[in-house]
Structure 1
Amino acid sequence: MQANNNGLLWQYRLVLASVALAFLVVGLGAFTRLVDAGLGCPDWPGCYGHLMWPETNAEKQAAAQLFPDSPVDTQKTWPEMVHRYFAGSLGLLIVAITIFAYRARKSGLDVPMKLPLALIALVTLQAAFGMWTVTLKLLPQVVTAHLLGGFCTLSLLWLLSLRIKYRFTDIKAYQNRGPIKLAFVLLSVVVAQIALGGWVSSNYAALACSDLPTCQGQWWPAVDFAKGFSLNNEIGPNYEGGILGIEARTAIHVAHRLGAIIVTVLSLAFVFRLLQNHFLGSALAFLAVLGFQVGLGLSNVFFALPLAIAVAHNIGGAVLLLVLISIIYKLYKNNQLNESRVV
């Protein structure tokens, strides 16, 4: 039993390190988008044919000959390559987790195996999306899918850490059954809102409304939802800076605002249900993160999307998602314990 716990503990530490690295990758991805460095390197996986990026004058001149339509801008090359290298390191760490899990299983240790395999598949897909982000010149669908893939990778790593943690520690049991169905509804709404946030970012619609609570001085400005949410984008144009008109961008921004209202209202209902069922710690933790995230969202509008706050808003969305996943896992385990008592 002691050897089993030691093996789980080592895997748990490795997974936690991956979670921390995944947070960093999500933050770097947001930073890269916000400083318009998504096409800082016109090729993939290198940068102007270099493992890092062109630095000397000779290297920049050679790069200009290879890519005459993409002049070297070192302010954009380094964020892109730093993001790629950290993302690649995360992929290697996930491979290590999978190998560890496989060997542990062969040695008779009870460690999760399906999640590491799913993570291997996901990180491979993420690498493809990273390539398509460059080769398809920031096609909004690809950029948004790449963002969602990053959040999904982080979420699965966190879920894996929870599963391992509760293999060698007991979860606190509550007599009351938690609102698990409402939690899953809220999870789907939060994921949809994150996707909307990605769509706002990939279509450069964050500044379409510069006032609150109105937008462009109106309660309901001119919007074009059909164009704003059309998935028939033409492959070929450079989408850096966005190509949509103001009415389409306004529609995307307004949709994200409405989504934020829905998430907030549903979250408050969820917190109330948690308090009713005496999950005080979970309720307060979720409420604190929600309040912080809403504050960051409002600050993005009030202060015209400052870089630090915009990056923090992306990370805040990830934290909110992980806190919710933690609560769902706790509710699920608690409800299982209550069902076993009834039986």
Structure 2
Amino acid sequence: MSNTHPSLGFRGLALATCLFTWLLIGVGGIVTSQGVGMSVPDWPNTYGYNMFYFPLSQWVGGIFWEHSHRLMASLVGLMTLILTIWSHGRSGRSLLRYVILPLSILLTFLVLINAENNTLQHASITGGTGFIALFASFFWPRMKPASKLMRKLCWIALIMVIGQGLLGGLRVTLYKDEIGIIHATLAQLFLVLLVAIVFVSSKRWIGWKAASKDNHTVTNRFSWMMAALCVFVVCQLILGAFMRHEHAGLAVTGFPLAYDQYLWPPTHAEFVNQLNVDRMDHRDFNPVTALHVHVHMLHRSMALILFIAGSLFVGWTLKYLGRQHLLGRLSILWFSLLCLQAFLGVATVWSNKAADIATIHVLIGALTLALGSFMVIAARRSVFLAKEASAMRHREMPSDLIPTPEVAVAKG
């Protein structure tokens, strides 16, 4: 069966899933910034209710944000599942009938046997999912499947979003900050994957221009340098996730000085103990430790390194690709986001870690990584197409015109 380019509906759903994931990261940021991650202490239930039956009248305070985060995550999971099935074209009918339906029947059976409370609520969700899947299978469009690459990306996304849901649940049931850090990091990588799906599903993917002969080497170097910067951004986001989930964002309260030090503040036990005694913020945060101070300062140092490396990278890109080149313009936008992100980091400290500023800081960080990843994929696509075009020209060239090693040596 031949493949077809994804339809407008598929591309729209992919873009919507990407945008909702970015917003979901923002809602997760609010939950962490306000320290309300345990406002709903049970999972997968919400105060004993099936989460989809939780009364609106009880959506108050921190419960509103934590419960909204769970529902948005469920929506993103559903959208990812639909994308995965859709990528298989007409074969999606079989997936709905012979995979989703049996799974829903099995889950309903397990619910009826094991559920202690609100059994009908849970069974209606699991059983209803199977009924909807069966009904949808009769009307599923009879189209050709998407490319093998697209199907693989969608399946990876589905596995990741399921893993994200389980990590989010374990963060609540086990009450482990370490799980929250992994959960936050995986969310960023999931967003990057969705950016790839959006790009591969777009018409631009097919019509993307190959790197010109003059720019081939430059574009190749651009992709690897941008990839290295993205790795640095991921490391920075991991440090940020550690600070947020350990509530170490104010382990160092001043900027640009760090407790009157230009470089690194002291971290001996007496100094750290005095920090905890002198804290003016009485919110329920963990005591500051030497590790918190080190991670906070490492986060600042990484930000400075990224700023310097980013500025050099943009200068190099504009020199060799020019401002008119798409990658040149995108590099300027990326560096602008990086500068905004640095300012928001400073503002977070100056504002005593105001929840709104800290959340915007998270959102811009995710956007910086997403744009950088898109630039890497776009550059690699240009290089790949250039190599493919060169190989095709070589195959089509008459054999008597292809230079042999002897001829090349003679010319030399």
TM bracket, shorter-chain basis: 0.7 to 0.9
Residue identity opposite 1:218 in structure 2: Q
Aligned pair in 2 of structure 1 residues 4, 35: CA closer, same or farther (>3 Å)?
same
Instruction: Determine the C-alpha separation between the residues in 2 that align with 1:148 and 1:108.
Output: 35
Alignment of 1:101 with 2:87, yes or no, is yes
- Native 8 Å contact 1:202 1:242 kept in 2: no
Q: Unaligned stretches of 5+ in structure 2?
A: 93-142, 273-282, 322-326, 392-412
Aligned to 2:103: none
Aligned to 2:125: none
Offset of 1:193 from its aligned partner? 0.5
Q: Give per-residue Cα distances to partners, 1:6-39, cap 9 Å, x unaligned.
A: x432211110010111011100000011111100
Match of 1:110 among 133, 146, 158: 146
Determine helix, strand or coil for the equivalent of 2:259.
coil
Instruction: Determine the C-alpha separation between the residues in 1 that align with 2:10 and 2:167.
Output: 28
Counterparts of 1:280-291 in structure 2, within 5 Å, are 280-291=328-339
What percentage of aligned pairs have identical amino acids?
Answer: 24
Q: Give per-residue Cα distances to partners, 1:287-328, cap 9 Å, x unaligned.
A: 221121111111112222222111100000111011101111
Offset of 1:189 from its aligned partner? 0.8
Aligned to 1:62: none
Aligned to 2:134: none
- Native 8 Å contact 1:224 1:248 kept in 2: no
Aligned to 2:311: 268
More deviation, 141-150/284-293? 284-293
Aligned to 1:332: 380
Query: When the two structures are aligned, how many residues end up with a matched partner?
Result: 311
Residue identity opposite 2:383 in structure 1: N
Q: Give per-residue Cα distances to partners, 1:59-110, cap 9 Å, x unaligned.
A: 9xxxxxxxxxxxxx94121111010000001000000000101125774343
- Native 8 Å contact 1:224 1:250 kept in 2: no
Residue identity opposite 1:258 in structure 2: S
Residue identity opposite 2:70 in structure 1: R
Alignment of 1:123 with 2:166, yes or no, is no
Q: Give per-residue Cα distances to partners, 1:90-138, cap 9 Å, x unaligned.
A: 000000000101125774343310011001111111111111111122x
Residue identity opposite 1:251 in structure 2: H
TM-score of the pair, normalised by structure 1: 0.83
Aligned pair in 2 of structure 1 residues 216, 91: CA closer, same or farther (>3 Å)?
same
Residue identity opposite 1:193 in structure 2: Q
Runs of 4 or more off by more than 4 Å in structure 1?
Answer: 52-56, 104-107, 166-169
Aligned to 2:66: 80
Match of 2:197 among 134, 151, 160: 160
Instruction: Determine the C-alpha separation between the residues in 2 that align with 1:136 and 1:105.
Output: 39
Match of 1:196 among 226, 236, 239: 239
Instruction: Determine the C-alpha separation between the residues in 2 that align with 1:244 and 1:34.
Output: 16
Aligned to 1:235: none
Aligned to 1:234: none
Aligned to 2:29: 30
Aligned to 1:317: 365
Instruction: Determine the C-alpha separation between the residues in 1 that align with 2:385 and 2:347.
Output: 42
Instruction: Determine the C-alpha separation between the residues in 1 that align with 2:146 and 2:55.
Output: 48
Residue identity opposite 1:339 in structure 2: K
Determine helix, strand or coil for the equivalent of 2:11.
helix
TM-score of the pair, normalised by structure 2: 0.70
What is the Cα-based RMSD across aligned positions, in Å? 2.5
Aligned pair in 2 of structure 1 residues 105, 222: CA closer, same or farther (>3 Å)?
farther
More deviation, 270-279/155-164? 270-279
Residue identity opposite 2:29 in structure 1: A
- Native 8 Å contact 1:224 1:251 kept in 2: no
Determine helix, strand or coil for the equivalent of 1:40.
coil
Aligned to 2:265: 221
Aligned to 1:231: none
- Native 8 Å contact 1:173 1:334 kept in 2: yes
Instruction: Determine the C-alpha separation between the residues in 2 that align with 1:242 and 1:144.
Output: 16
More deviation, 159-168/25-34? 159-168
Match of 2:296 among 253, 275, 283: 253
Instruction: Determine the C-alpha separation between the residues in 2 that align with 1:260 and 1:104.
Output: 48
- Native 8 Å contact 2:14 2:83 kept in 1: yes
Aligned pair in 2 of structure 1 residues 211, 14: CA closer, same or farther (>3 Å)?
same
Offset of 1:168 from its aligned partner? 5.9
Alignment of 1:293 with 2:348, yes or no, is no
Offset of 1:49 from its aligned partner? 0.8
Instruction: Determine the C-alpha separation between the residues in 1 that align with 2:371 and 2:168.
Output: 27
Instruction: Determine the C-alpha separation between the residues in 2 that align with 1:320 and 1:168.
Output: 21
More deviation, 110-119/78-87? 110-119
Aligned to 2:173: 135
Instruction: Determine the C-alpha separation between the residues in 2 that align with 1:117 and 1:100.
Output: 11
Q: Unaligned stretches of 5+ in structure 1?
A: 60-72, 229-239
Q: Give per-residue Cα distances to partners, 1:174-232, cap 9 Å, x unaligned.
A: 4313222212211111111100000010111111122111112223212379xx9xxxx
